[in-house]
Structures are given as structure tokens and as C-alpha cells.
Amino acid sequence: MVFVTFSSLYTFEGDDLSSFNIPYADKLVHFTFYFVGLILGSLYVLQLKDRQQVILRKIVILAFVLVLFGIIIEVIQGKWTVNRSGEVFDALANTTGVVMGFIVIFNRFYKQRGLK
């Protein structure tokens, strides 16, 4: 999440980065960051030796924290950065990534109680 925060708040203008003109690629990046964030956080929680109800509660809390984090980052981008802008659709892409990550974790790992 440190990488996500840095990538969201750093101004990359003026850097010699190649640019691709892929429509809505930034939304895919937002989705991917938060999807992976929830998956990795959930994999950590799944390795704890707690009851399934406790694990599910921790994963739900993680999901809410990630959604809130994404909204806060978008607000910070809109208020306190010069070359970045906060967008509602970025927050929606973040939330969609979290929800899809939750669905994957719940369907794949939560029912099995850990990795196989």
C-alpha cells in the first residue's frame, strides 16, 4: 500500500516515461492495485489460526479499510496535489477491485480454510 500511495500522489510529469494511449488504462491500474491489496491482505489473514467467523470479520474490515483508503487518496489528490486530480470513477475502480478480490478470496480460500 506504500507503493499505491506513492504512485497515487507522486507527480510523474517531466519524467521520461513512455506513454501509451490506452483508453481508461488508469482505471484498470486502480482496479488491479486494490484487487491485489485485498488478495494479499486476505492471504495473510487466512494464515492466522483463528476461527472462520473471526477470519471473515477481519477480511471484511480489511475490505472496508481499503475502500476508505482509496477514497481518502482520491480526496488528497483533488485537494493537495498540483498535477493530480481526484476522480469519482477512480474511487469506483478501487472499490470494484476490492469487491472482486473479496469474491475471489471468499469463493476460493475461505471455504477451504487456507491454501492447498
Tens of pLDDT, residues 19-40: 666 677 889 999 999 999 999 9
Nearest-angstrom CA–CA distance, 60 and 51: 14
Successive 10-residue mean pLDDT values, the chain, 116 residues: 83 60 82 96 90 90 97 89 84 96 87 55
- Give the angle 60-25-29 at the CA atoms, nearest 5°: 30
The Cβ of residue 87 has, within 10 Å, a number of other Cβ atoms equal to 15
Which pLDDT belongs to residue 5?
84
Which pLDDT belongs to residue 96?
98
Which pLDDT belongs to residue 98?
97
Let me know: does 93 contact 33? Beta carbons within 8 Å: no
Which pLDDT belongs to residue 79?
86
Nearest-angstrom CA–CA distance, 26 and 112: 34
